[in-house]
Amino acid sequence: MNQLRRWYRRLDEWTQSLSRLGYAVLTGATAFCSYLLVGSFFGKFAVVSAVAMGLTLTVLYYALDPREQ
């Protein structure tokens, strides 16, 4: 369990150290890959929708910057 906590903290520190644009792109890429993966499980291979989701979240996360304190 401690190893999992250490891994989580390292990942959290790494994402916190990313720039605003880097974090937005990471979020968009994660959304894109997740959309494709979940869609493939349900038999829908929707690349256009996945790209739209990824771009939308990238723009929103860059514009709104949810990590700002």
pLDDT digits (tens, 9 = 90+) for 31-40: 999 999 999 8
Please tell me the predicted confidence (pLDDT) of residue 62.
95
Please tell me the predicted confidence (pLDDT) of residue 32.
97
SS3 content of the chain, % helix, strand, coil (to 5): 80, 0, 20
Distance CA 24, CA 63 (A): 9
User: What crossing angle do the helices spanning 20-41 and 47-64 adopt, rounded to 10°?
Assistant: 150
Please tell me the predicted confidence (pLDDT) of residue 66.
84
Please tell me the predicted confidence (pLDDT) of residue 52.
96
Distance CA 62, CA 67 (A): 10
Angle CA(23)–CA(29)–CA(34) in degrees, nearest 5? 125
The ranges of the chain with pLDDT < 70 are: 69
